Structure 1
Amino acid sequence: MSGRPTGVDRVLRELAARAPTLGAGRLLCVDGPAGSGKTTLATAVAEASPGTTLVHLDDLLQGWDGLAGVGDHLDALLRPLADGRVGRHRRWDWHADAWAETVAVPPTPLLVVEGVGSGAPTCADLVTLLVWVEAPHDLRRRRGLERDGDDFAPHWDRWAAQEAAVLSRDSTRERAQVRVDGRDGSLLGWPDG
């Protein structure tokens, strides 16, 4: 996606119209397969809403094989925030292939969590709005390899298999209230038509 995705203003209006679900704040989860445009959409929403905190789920994954456990890491971050306390998560250092520092996430009016698995059912009760971003396989692969280069290339197929299993198991696309076309950021589906 280039420029500001077309659905950003509509997502922000929908968030504002919904009651807080994460303590006094709201939680937007932007999920979908690798390279679909999740980061672009989530960043645009965060930039359009001052005071928003953006968490990239890649920081909570325990390496290339950590996707299956992401729901537990996400739950551990979000439950304290739901109680009005600071949430914390360990950051995965992809270059060192090890856990790094602990990151504190204070309560915020809007927390945007983006990444594969951000719509995990373990946290569904805390989600204000779940957005699914999709794009054709070849475009996603090209974006992923352009973004991460040689670091991602040997892991693409293994990652794609884990990702498909998690997204299918969690029925993420089906549970999303909003669907976005990752090619241009346009809306594919919206609550109440």
Structure 2
Amino acid sequence: MATAVLRARPRCGAARVVAVDGHAGAGKSTLAERLAEELGGAPVVHTDDLATHEEPFGWAGRLAGQVLAPLSEGRPVRHDVYDWHARTFATVREVPPAPVVLVEGVGSGQAAVRPYLALTLWLEVPPHEARVRGRRRDGPELEHFWNGWTRAEDEHFAADPTRPFADLLVRQDRPAPGGYTALPGPAARTRGDRR
């Protein structure tokens, strides 16, 4: 995957912005961390930092204004970080300009972001399996949150699906934990070439 990222054409100034998308609980954060490491410490922007309780998927404007615009001009990024307990934007995170920046989170490959993306990765984990993993990770105290989140995620992907636009479909290898296989996604097959 790292090789595919480095071969992709930058579409956000000189930066290759890569979306790591999939259902909640699919393993996007883990994949983004591992890929960032393979890419020599590429920064990772988490859409959970930009989303809010009221707008779980309404963060595209914040991403464009606070992250993508500075990156496209080769400037450092300073984006607001939402505090999910205080229910307000409480801190600021700085991201240096870099040749590759990963944007990780549910909906990171949405239509409003696609023009800036060098590649879109989709984790091939069925929604039910991802949600079981997520609930197990978060524990029973977040069960109420998960019920609301599941509805919002289903509505988002029904209106603005990412998978049909994915360049790579990523599967976790079994039985080797932590291993991945990347296959050409629908966008790569339709395009017939690399960006």
TM-score range, shorter chain: 0.7 to 0.9
Correspondence for 2:142 = 152
Correspondence for 2:24 = 34
| Amino acid in structure 1 at the alignment position of 2:122 | W
Count of residue pairs brought into register by the alignment: 182
1:143 has 2:133 as partner: yes
Correspondence for 2:48 = 58
Kindly report the root-mean-square deviation, in angstroms, between the aligned alpha carbons of the 2 structures. Answer: 1.9
Query: Percent of aligned positions with the same letter in both sequences?
Result: 37
Bigger fraction of residues in helix: 1
Give the TM-score, by structure 1 length.
0.85
Correspondence for 2:166 = 176
1:93 has 2:83 as partner: yes
Structure 1: give runs of 5+ residues left out of the alignment: 1-10
Question: Does structure 1 retain, via aligned residues, the 8 Å contact 2:171–2:181?
Answer: yes
Give the TM-score, by structure 2 length.
0.84
Correspondence for 1:4 = none
CA distance in 2, matches of 1:134, 1:157: 22
Alignment match of 2:61 (pick from 68, 72, 77): 72
SS in 2 for 1:111: strand
For residue 140 of structure 1, report the CA deviation from its aligned partner: 1.4
CA distance in 2, matches of 1:130, 1:141: 21
- What CA deviation, in whole Å up to 9, does each residue of 1:66-117 have, x standing for no partner? 2231212221221221111222221011122221112222211110111012
1:129 has 2:119 as partner: yes
